[in-house]
Structures are given as structure tokens and as C-alpha cells.
Structure 1
Amino acid sequence: MQHKSTIQAELAAFLKNEGRTINQFAGISGVNSGTLSSIINGNRPIAMQQLDRITAGMGLPEGTFYELYIDECVVHSTPDWRRLGPFLQRCAELDKLECIRQVVQIIMDNITYAPLLFDTAEEFYSQGKLQAAALLYEGVADSEKYQHSERLALCQYRLFTIRTGQSPEADFRAATRFEYFVERLEEADQLGALQQLAGIYFSLGHWEKAGLLAEQLYHKASIQYGIRYHRTRKQKELREPPKPFCFYILYAYWLQSKVYEEAGDYGQAMEYVGKYTDMGWIVETSGEIQEIKEQFRRRGAVSACLYRLMSGEQDRLGEYEKYIGSEELGLIAGLLHAVQAVNRFHWEADGLIGRFQLQLAQVQAACGQGTPGPGPAGTDNQGIDSLEKFPELLYELAVYYSHTDRAEQGLQALFRSLEASAALGSVACVIRCVRLFEQLRPLASAADQERYKQLINKVQVAHTERTVNTQDRL
């Protein structure tokens, strides 16, 4: 196909080469012969449905002429939304993202298209066509970047949700880019946005930032809950957020408890457990509300047991063991906390560790295959197990064995931790492993020292490759 060709020229050439008349092709394509004649003679623009039928009638793949269609109907003529809207829909269906990008770049010089593109983006978003929607949101946001419109804020919110969950670097960039726009959203949207933002910062280890966002979430959700359920004078009708108002209040309390947990302040963490398990103030009684209340009760029971365990109550170890592998806790995170408590207070835990050896071996195999961890941060189900903490668990096991005079078992656990760290990019855990090995070096055989050297080289190579890949994404 020549660069300066047109759809009309391509159709005329096809009819000539195939020896077909317009009437014959009309029967094949389902496009009226008069319409075909007008199209070939350049007297009539091509509608989207007609273009697809002509393409199929010529035996060509769907979307073959879409680049030419952009040139003819967008670049060299005034875009008509009656044709442009269906064209964008078909591009999204066929995943022709470059065509969508070209159209957006061309038409967004005219800001009057912004509402139409935004509505189309919302359709794509609701249909799960996220990459196509992102291109439209980006176009609208760029055209309105100097305005303080709610539409601009909502575009940024949608882009934030689309961009998260790919990598920690992408999550951080998306969070910092979007945070500025939260206050411009409708109040109902602010709750979901703050929940997601706080969850992402927490997952990235920005505990202080997560705590501040949790405070904002609690403040906003409490005010809206009071307006919705407890004020008697007539108020402006509130649009319902994605989840009930009470969920965001409980979530804010729960996240605050996790922030204090990460800081090692188990007393404050326990106070917040009491806040999100004391739910007598909730007035709603729907099935959804009951499920939410039960969800936080279960979380509270697990967390209360954990915090007592981490505060030195050894008699809680048996109770806590029952939660390991549960939906609220997960296998890796659950066992990690248990071994941390054991190491902290120098308890004996051979029986507990032995009961999970088979599962740990299966996780080690998955880690070696590069199996990914959980989905996007900030989701409700924070108990989803993650491979990210597996190197740390193996390190804690190495510490446990070394403290109980089993240096060889400790070294083997340390080596497994280094292997997992190389696979998952856990730099902080590598540093801890190096320090522990230096303590155990006098007890390490020549073979152990050689294996350690090889693993350190493997870690360095993996870190270099990961750094290069990250720079390429940036």
C-alpha cells in the first residue's frame, strides 16, 4: 500500500484487480451500491460500519484502513463526532492503541472535544478497556492542565488507578503524581482515593505518609458519615462512595494500627484494634455492612493476638499458630511474625517451624520461578500472601537456627534467603544476610564460603539487571 493512497483508491483498485462491479461488491460487503459509488467518487464520507464492511468484503484483516481513515476523516477534514466516536470504540475493541493516540493528539487542539472524549473514556473504563481509556484521560487532562476542574481531577484519579500495580516504582510515581488532585474530587470519590493512596504508601514502606493519609481518610469519612446518618436538618444529598461510609472509618483505624505495628509500637497498635473492632456506632444493618463488620472483627482478632505475642506473651504462640495461613494473615507474613517474636524473646519453636516445612519448600520453588507477589497495593484484602517477605522469613529462620547452636542449618537458611533476595530484589534483606554471614563465617566450611561467594555474585548481577530494567521503564 502506498503512503499517499486513500481508502477510495484502494477500493477502486481492488474492484479492478478482482474484476468485480460495484453491484457485485455491494452484495459481498452489504454496503449499498449507490453508497459505494459515492465513496469511490469522493462524494461521501465513510461511516465506521461501512469501513468495516468494505474491509471484510476485500478479505482484509479488521482495522487495515484505520490509519488511512485518520488521515482522511481527522487530519484533512473537520472531525465529525458521529464518525469519530464509533471509530474510537472500534479501535479500543481491536486494541489499536496507536490509532487512538493519534486521534487524541490531533483533535485535542480543540478543547470542545474534551467532554466527549471524557465520556468515551468513562465508557472504556467501565468496560475494562483500561489502556484505551488511559489515552483519552491523558488527552483530556493535558488539555485542561491549567484549569481547576473536577473533570481534570477525575481524569487523574482514573489514570492513578490504571497505572498502579505494575511495579513499586510505577506505584510511587502514580501516587505522587495524583496526590495533588485528591481535594478536587467529589467528596465520595475522595474516600476511595485516599484509601488507595494510603495503601500504596504503606506497601512501599512510607509509614508516616500512610498514617497521615489514614488520618485524612478518617476525618473526611467521619464528617460524611455524620451528615449522612446523624444530622436532622436537611442536607445536600451525598453521592454514595464505592463502599459504605463506615468501611472507610474502619479502614483508617486498621491502617493506623498497621503503621504502629511497623514502628514496633504494639501498645498504640492495640489501641487502634480496639477502635476498629468497637462497631456499636454503626447504624446500618444491611448484609454488606454485616460482612464488613465481620471482616474487621476477624482482622482484629488476628492483630490482637499478634501484638500480644510481639509484646512477649509466649502463651499466645499456640493461638497465633492457628491463624498462620489464614486469609487475614497468610502463610509467609504469619510465620514471619511468629519467628520474629521467637527470636526477639529467645523462645523455642521447632515444632511450629516444622509444621510448615512443606509449604515453605513449595514457596521456595515458586520464588525460584519468579512467581509474582500480590496485586495492586491498597486493596481491601491485605491478608493476601506475598513472596516479597519470603527472603526476610528465611533470614529470621537463619537467625533462629544460629541462636540455637545449629550453625549449618542457619547457613543453609541464609543461603536460601540470598537466593530469594536475588530473585525478588530484596536489597535490605541481602544486607542483613551479609552481616549474619560474617558472624557465622568462623563456623562455615570451605564449601559454604564458596557458595556464599557465588550467591553474592548472583545477587549483584540480579541487582544490576533490575536497575537497568527500571531505568528503561522510567
Structure 2
Amino acid sequence: MEKNTTIRAEIEKYIQREGISMQCFADASKVNPGTLSGILNRNPPRPISVNQLDLITGAMGLEEGALFEMYVDECFIHSLPHWRRLRPFLLRCSELNKLECICSVLGYLMDDLSNIPAIFETAEAMFEDDRYEAAMLLYNCVIESEKYTHSERLAISYFRIFQIQIKDNKRSLKAAVQFHLYRGRLPETYALEGLHMLSQVFALKMQWSEMEMYADELRELAQALYRNRNRFGDEHLELLKPLVYYYAQGHLLKASCYEFQGRYEESKKWIDGYADLSWFEGLDEEGRKVVDMHRVYAQGNRLCIEIKMGNTSAIYEYITYLREHPDETLEGLNTLLESANRFGYFVDAELGLFSQQLKSFWELAPDQWDTHYRKHFNAFRFASFCKVYAEYHFRKGDYAEGLGQTLHCLQLSVDNSYTEHIIGCMALFEQHRNFATPEQQHLYQKFCLGVRENEKNHAYDHSTGGYL
């Protein structure tokens, strides 16, 4: 298609080239003949709706969105845009992933700050339709243009970007750091979810003080909302998940924070806070499921603490628990291996009971790990498992398998920027380098180059201990 041409010129050329009448083209495109005549003959041409543009594009045999660049130029750059056409066009661009067209329109709209509310509302519509990359363009536009720093709209925009980028381990920390300053300005509908997400992200980064801080804020806000609901009778508080879920998670995350730091007695006290929530008022069916789910978590986590404290008499009960709750297998075997390495015992027989599950972890791609954990949390815990399993094999003198598990952990950690695991794996490999085969040496060098690439592509933030 020629540059500097117009939609009207392209339609006219098509009609002339095909040797058809305007009526024939109107019939083929299903555009009203009078409307088509206004587009082709009126001066200035009659404005074209997005739907009409799609019909015309299809009748001309062009790819969907082929005329969008011209549409931007004619309807929004060189003429006064109207949101009656802007919104449908931006939404259609998001469907077709025409991100450059969206950027072109936004570049023009940002000159007029009165457009910001409509841009935000359109971003919300894109988010609801899972058009995340397009929505991020609009949310960033709101962030750059919003002049009121206490604006709820600004806080929600940061929250939405955090929601989108939390699924990408390489971008989640940066999104968390940007969002956390605005967490107190979110409406109650999103505030609990935002705090929950922050605590999870910093758990993955092993930043325990930050994880604990947000877990405390989550628990305190959930308690305050619960008290207010019971006091003022507000039974219609709109949240993304049941209120009891956030209350329980506030306690669970606090307990986990102490557990990961080896503060086991303190962790036990916080497990009690979510073990039995049947007293929680206003539970619906979904809320009762949350209560039951956390009762199961508490049972497993109490056993987990006993194992980590070296209480081997709890192993049989823990194995029974893991077999009854296969979604907990990865975390459970991680716990067994950590304890075995710490206290100097072996769990070969116990590991043998889960040989099929272990095999499936190595065979499945990360996006196929379908448990209640998110994809990147699975990858993180599996990397942790490979590391402790490597240490376990080194203790047994099985250096080939130990080095293999070390390299597996290193690969996952480099791919996902798990800084702490990268450091640990490199130390393990160097400690046992003399036992490595030439193939293992080659893989190690390859993964080390991957670490260097991460340093080039992602600025390292020493304050948070991770790549941004």
C-alpha cells in the first residue's frame, strides 16, 4: 500500500481495479450505500466507524487492521478526535495487538489532560478482557499524565501494572517497588489483594523483613474491615476474594516468614491464627471452602515445622499427609530434604514413595505445573528442591547426580533471575568441580554466560537483592 495515501483513495483504487460499482462494493462490504457514498464523495469525507472500517477492510480482502495506521492519521491526528470513535478503535487495536497504533493515538491524546479519565476507563476495559500489553500502555499514560499524586486512579494504574507483571519474575520486583508507595491510596476493593501480592513477591526474593511488613499490613487491614463490617453491618464489601481469605493469608504469610528464617516456635503461634476460622462471621460457600483449605494448610505446616526442627517421629504422619494432598508434594519433599541435610539422616525410602511425582516434575514444562501455586512460584520451589536434592546426593557421595541437580537448579535460576539460588548453585558446583564431566563443565559455563546476560539486560538493585 502506498505511503501518504488515504482510506478513501484506497477504496476508490480497489473499486476501479476490480471494475465494480460503488453499489456492488456496498453490497459486498455490507456498508449502507448512502454511508459509503458519504465516505467517498462528501468533502470532507463522512467519518468512518471502526465497525465500518472492519467491513471495508474485509471486502477488500485485506488483513484485519490493515487500514488502521491510515485511520489514526485521518481520524485522530489531523482531525478533532471524539471518544465515541476513540474508545472502540483502541479496544479493537488491543484485540488485534496493534500496539503501535495505540501508541500513536496516546501520543496525541496526552497533550490534553482532560482525556486521562477516558484513557483510564478504556485501560480498565482492556484489563477485563485480558488485553494486558495494550492495557499497560494506557495505564502508563495515566501514570505519566496524572497531576494529582493522591489520585485513586493513579494508585489503581500502578496496581494493575503490578497485577500484570507479577506473572513475570524478571519484572515483578520492579512493579512491586513502583506500586508499594501507592498501596495506601487504593480503594478497599483492591487494597487487600495489593498487600497480599507484595508479600508474595518479597517472599520469592527472600526479603523477609519486607515480606513480614506487608503480611502484617494485610492482616491488620483484614481485621479492621472485619470489625467494621460487623459493627456497621456492611455485608456488601466488594473484594477480589473473600475477606476470610485475606485474614487467613495474613497469618499464613507471617508464619511462613518465621519458618523460612528458622524461627519455628514463633511460626507455630501464627499457624494457630489460621488453623480454625470457623468462628469467622458472614461466611458464604466460598468462604467456608477457604476455611477448610487453610485448615489443611495448617495441618501440613505444623508437621513441616516438626520435620524442620529435626523431629523424625513426625515423618510417617507427614508422608501420609503428602500422599493425601499431592499438590503439596514438591514443598513436602523440599522440607524432608532440608531436614535430612541439616540433621544428617537419609530419606531414600520416603523419596521412593514419590518417584512418579518426581519424574513428572522433571518431564513437564513449567507452564504445565498445575497446582494451586502460580507458575513462577512452582519454578522457584522446584529450583529450591533441586538445590537441596543436590546437597543430599553430595552427602551420599553421588557426585554425578549431585552435579546434575545443581545444574538443573542453576538453569531454572538463571532463566528466572533467582539471585540467591544462582549464588548457591555456583558455590556448590565450584566445590565439586573436580567431579564434573566435560559435558557438565560445558553446561556450567553456558549458564554462567546467562548470568552475565541477565546483568546486561536487567539492572541489579542491591537494595532489594534482585534484578529489576
Normalising by structure 2, what TM-score? Answer: 0.88
Query: For the residues of structure 2 that align with 1:298 and 1:236, how far apart are their CA atoms?
Result: 29
1:283 is aligned to 281
Displacement after TM superposition at 1:237 (Å): 8.1
Q: 1:464 aligns with which of 448, 452, 462?
A: 452
Judged with a 3 Å threshold, the aligned counterparts in structure 2 of structure 1 residues 12 and 182 are, in CA distance, closer, same or farther, namely same
2:401 is equivalent to residue 413 of structure 1: yes
Comparing 342-351 and 303-312, the one that deviates more: 342-351
- Judge conservation of contact 1:418–1:455 (CA < 8 Å) in 2: no
Could you say which residue in structure 2 is the equivalent of 1:386? 378
The answer on 1:32 being equivalent to 2:32 is yes
Residues 317/67 of structure 1: CA separation in 2 closer, same or farther (3 Å cut) = same
Partner residue in 2 for 1:301: 299
Give the Cα separation in 1 of the matches to 2:269 and 2:375. Answer: 20
User: 1:381, CA displacement in angstroms?
Assistant: 4.2
Matched residues in 2 for 1:114 and 1:212: separation?
Answer: 33
- Partner AA of 1:291 in structure 2: K
Residues 50 and 333 of structure 1, relative CA distance in 2, 3 Å threshold: same
Query: Aligned equivalents of 2:347 and 2:64: distance in 1?
Result: 63
* Aligned counterpart, 2:175: 174
Q: Which amino acid aligns with 1:36?
A: L
In the other structure, the counterpart of 1:164 is: 166
Q: Which amino acid aligns with 1:396?
A: V
Following the alignment from structure 1 to structure 2, what is the Cα–Cα distance between the partners of residues 331 and 251?
A: 20
Aligned to 1:243: 241
1:403-430: per-residue Cα shift (whole Å, max 9, x none)? 4xx42x2x12321123203421241331
Aligned match of 1:110 = 112
1:75 Cα shift? 0.6
Deviation at 1:399, TM superposition (A): 3.9
2:210 is paired with a residue of what secondary structure? helix
Cα distance change, pair 18–364 in 1 and its aligned pair in 2 (3 A): closer
Amino acid in structure 2 at the alignment position of 1:61: E
Q: 3-state SS of the aligned residue for 2:432? A: helix
In the alignment, residue 30 of structure 2 is paired with which amino acid?
Answer: G
Residue 173 (structure 1) shift:
0.4
Q: Deviations for 1:45-93, whole angstroms, at most 9, x for unmatched residues?
A: 2222222222222222221111111111111111022222221222122
- For 2:393 and 2:52, how far apart are their aligned partners in 1? 73
- 1:392 Cα offset (Å): 4.1
Q: Measure, in 2, the Cα distance between the counterparts of 1:313 and 1:69.
A: 70
Compare 265-274 and 27-36 and name the one that shifted more. Answer: 27-36
CA distance in 1, matches of 2:389, 2:90: 55
1:218 alignment partner in structure 2: 219
- Listed as ranges, the gaps of 5+ residues in structure 2 are 415-420, 461-466
3-state SS of the aligned residue for 1:304? Answer: helix
| Counterpart amino acid of residue 254 in structure 1 | L
Change (3 A) 1:146 1:307: same
Distance 1:268 1:471 in 2: 36
Q: What is the match of residue 7 of structure 1?
A: 7
Q: Which amino acid aligns with 1:256?
A: K
Corresponding residue of 2:205 = 204
Q: Is there any run of 5+ residues in structure 1 with no aligned partner, and where?
A: none
Match of 2:266 among 268, 278, 296: 268
Match of 1:135 in 2: 137
- The CA deviation string for residues 283-340 of structure 1, in whole angstroms up to 9 with x for no partner, is 1242112101101100000000111122222110111122336658633321121022
Shift of 1:194: 0.7
- Name the stretch that deviates more: 71-80 or 84-93: 84-93
Distance 2:37 2:393 in 1: 84
Work out the percentage of aligned pairs sharing the same amino acid. 30
Change (3 A) 1:382 1:126: closer
Q: RMSD across aligned C-alpha pairs, in angstroms?
A: 2.9
In structure 2, the partner of 1:433 is 428
Deviations 1:265-290 (A, max 9, x none): 11011111111114254112421121
CA contact (8 A) 1:398 1:412 kept: no
Secondary structure of the corresponding residue to residue 322 of structure 2? coil
Q: Deviations over 1:348-398 (max 9, x none)?
A: 4231133334443443445xxx645869xxx97479972434454344344
Q: Is the 8 A contact 2:57 2:63 kept in 1?
A: yes
Output one character per residue of 1:74-121: Cα deviation in whole Å (capped at 9) or x when no partner. 111110222222212221222212111211121121122222222222
Letter in 1 for 2:351: I
Kept in 1, the 8 Å contact 2:49–2:85? The answer is: yes
Name which of 76, 79, 104 aligns with 1:77.
79
Distance in 2, matches of 1:89 and 1:246, equals: 36
By how many angstroms is 1:344 displaced? 2.1
Residue identity matched to 1:176: V
Q: Secondary structure at the match of 1:4?
A: coil
Deviation at 1:255, TM superposition (A): 0.2
Counterpart of 2:418 in structure 1 is none
* Structure 1 stretches of 4+ moved >6 Å: 235-238, 382-385, 471-474
Contact kept, 8 Å, 2:274 with 2:298, in 1: the verdict is yes
Worse-superposed segment, 29-38 or 463-472? 463-472
Q: What displacement does 1:154 show?
A: 1.2
How many residues matched? 453
Whole-Å separation in 1 of the counterparts to 2:375 and 2:307: 18
Q: Which sits farther off after the overlay, 272-281 or 98-107?
A: 272-281
